[in-house]
Amino acid sequence: MNYKIIDKEKYYRKGVFRHFSEDCKCSTSMTARIDVTYLVEYSK
């Protein structure tokens, strides 16, 4: 993969970047069903 380093001070979308990295605190999450039967038995 090729990555390009961006100078944030000169970036033409600096305001948008700042908004989403500082104001919104955007994040993602993921959930999944897991079988914890053995964990419950072990914890007793």
Residue 34 has what pLDDT?
95
Determine contact, residues 17/8, Cβ cutoff 8 Å.
yes
Query: Does the predicted model carry a pTM greater than 0.85?
Result: no
What number of other Cβ atoms are within 10 A of residue 17's Cβ?
Answer: 13
Residue 40 has what pLDDT?
93
The pLDDT tens digits of the residues spanning 1-44 come to 799 999 989 999 999 988 988 898 777 889 999 999 999 999 98
Domain residue limits, the chain: 13-43
Torsion sign (Cα): 18, 19, 24, 29: negative
Residue 41 has what pLDDT?
94
